[in-house]
Amino acid sequence: MNFSFIHLIFIFLFFHLIHSQDDKRPFIIGVFTQPTSSGDESFVPWSYINFIQASGGRALPIHFNASHEEILDIMKSIDGILFTGGSQDFFPFNSTWIEAAKLIYNNAIQLNDNNHPFLLWGTCMGFELLLCLTNNDPSTITNGFDSVNVNLELIFTQFARDSNLYSKVPDTLFYNLTRFNLTYNDHHWGITPDRFNSLSNLYDFYNILSTTKDINGRSFVSSIEAKKYPFFGVQFHPEAALSLFCDSENYPHSSDAKLFAYYLSEFINSNPRNSHDIDPSILFELQGSHLLWDGNIDCMFGDYYYQI
């Protein structure tokens, strides 16, 4: 029997035990939208919606230009928020988009401190955003990494195997992630391990779970996990293995790449869920009433969806 198939069965059974604790509703993960280039509309790349839904979760757009009261109300009824990849400018660090991200980050800490489990996940730009929010400085990350449209391996740290994020990765897959180029990277920005460890706001808050070397051999932090909170970030794009197909891009679609992506999707949808009652309006929004496909196909993000 194919090892990947065995791993898939293992992952399914493990997370099924967690999901079965409360299957009255799916996990609901908010996806933080981004402003279009004109700044007039709010969009979310479909690849991240699909990433959450791949393991049975439901994705709800969290519009950056919604009122702060609306964002706080929504956060009471969902299980977490995903900060997506993209190319937004972090300067100035008080734009409408950044201020909404700060609100989400600070409220997520407060919710968890009040025994209300709430997950934050950052992918690529979202990973960088998490670091800048934690350090309260858009200059936390630096430019110059040569990691565009390339698949790379992970170099796990001593924290990885016992982490919440990676502790359940099957041994063979864990090993293969260090041997083969299974993670898709598409970034110039990032942070070196030395810089990360020199910033006390980051070093005290997160554990580095893995690093990666760009094509010139320069190391960057590629995955993190908060020490106290259910906050996680990856510099690579797991959604690419499940959702993105384009001849001009090197998206990985091997069995192991897809298995790892599915594992991470399952992980997001298996963290402790919000035990509070769900606002009926949230369930209405889940029907897609606030999303509209603009008809464009994008090789990096898949289909764009815009706010109506």
Q: Is 289 exposed, middle or buried, given 0-12, 13-18 or 19+ CB atoms closer than 10 A? A: exposed
The least confident of 70-74, 79-83, 178-182, 270-274 is 270-274
Domain that holds residue 237: 3-306
Nearest-angstrom CA–CA distance, 74 and 113: 18
Count Cβ neighbours within 10 Å for each residue of 59-95 and write b for 16 or more, e otherwise. bbbbbbebeeeebeebbbbbbbbbbbbbebebeebeb
Tell me the per-residue pLDDT of 230-279, one tens digit each, with 9 for 90 and over: 999 999 999 999 988 888 899 999 999 999 999 999 999 998 877 666 66
Average per-residue pLDDT for the chain? 88
| More reliable by pLDDT, 46 or 104 | 104
DSSP 39: S
Positions marked catalytic: 124, 237
* Alpha-carbon distances, residue 80 vs 60, 121, 225, 226 (angstroms): 10, 8, 15, 15
Domain count, the chain: 1
Yes or no: say if 103 and 72 are a contact pair by the CB < 8 Å rule. Answer: yes
Closest CA to 82 of 129, 144, 138, 18: 129
Yes or no: say if 64 and 42 are a contact pair by the CB < 8 Å rule. Answer: yes
Read off the pTM.
0.90
Nearest-angstrom CA–CA distance, 103 and 108: 8
Amino acid (one-letter) located at 149: N
13: domain CATH number is: 3.40.50.880
